[in-house]
Amino acid sequence: MKIFGVECRVVDLSFKLHPGKEERRLEIRRFTYGAGEFMHDIDTMSHIGTHVECPSHYVDARYGKKGADLSKIPVEAFLGEAVLVDLSDKAAREPVTVKDLEDSGVQEGDIVLIGNSRFTGDDRPYISPEAARWLAETRVKMVGVDDSVHVEAPWNYESLDKMATHDNLLSNDIPLIERLTNLDKLRKRRFLFIGLPVNVEGLDAFPIRAIALEPLEEE
C-alpha cells in the first residue's frame, strides 16, 4: 500500500482471536438492534491476545497510587518509529542485556519490539532488570514482546516488588505490549509501528491490532 506516496509493506503483528476457544475468556453474543441490523455483546478480559498494558495495571497495586489508565495515555504513545531486538541467536534462558539493546540501535523515543527467540515455556530468554532499567532511562516510547521471551526473569512473576520490567516501564508511563506475533516476518530493523487500544476510561489494558509498516523505497 502507498502512504504519502511511499510504497509500504504491511505486517500484521497481532493474533486472531476465536470466541469460546481462547485460554482466557472471550464470548460474543449477537442480537438485533433498531431496524434489525446485528450488533454483539462482548464478554472478555482486558488481557487477551495481543494487548497493551498501561501504568494502572501495575502501579495501583504496587504503590497504592493511581497510575494512568488507557484513556490517560496520549495516543501518540501507541504509534511511531519502532526497532526490532532480534533474539534468534539467544540461548535458552539467556537474559536480554543492555548490550543487546544498544547493538540493536535502540534510542530515545523508539517503540522497542523484542522477540524471535527459538524457545518456548521456561526456556525462553527474559528481559533482565538491568535492561528494563536502561529502557526506562533511555526514555523509549513503548516496549513489546512476543511469546518467545519472558517479560520478567522467570522466577520474578509471583511478587510485585520483583517484577522489574513492569516496574521500570509502567512506573515511568511506558506502555507494555504482550503477545505480539509474526516478528519473524519483518524484513527491516526499523519500521513504523501502530498498535491502538480503545479509548475507555478506567481500563488497565486492552487488545490491540498491531501492525508494522515497512517502507519499500530502498528495495
Assess whether pLDDT exceeds 70 at residue 41. yes
pLDDT, position 219: 46
Question: In the chain, what is the greatest distance between 2 CA atoms, to the nearest angstrom?
Answer: 60
Assess whether pLDDT exceeds 50 at residue 6. yes
Residue predicted with more confidence, 39 or 1 = 39
Per the CB < 8 A criterion, the answer to whether 178 and 163 are in contact is no
What does the pLDDT average to over 73-100? 97
Mean pLDDT score across all residues of the chain: 96
What does the pLDDT average to over 117-123? 96
pTM for this model (two decimals): 0.95
What does the pLDDT average to over 162-175? 97
Burial class (CB in 10 A: 0-12, 13-18, 19+), 171: middle
What does the pLDDT average to over 142-149? 98
What does the pLDDT average to over 38-49? 98
What does the pLDDT average to over 124-129? 97
Per the CB < 8 A criterion, the answer to whether 181 and 50 are in contact is yes
C-alpha–C-alpha distance, residues 31 and 179, integer Å: 31
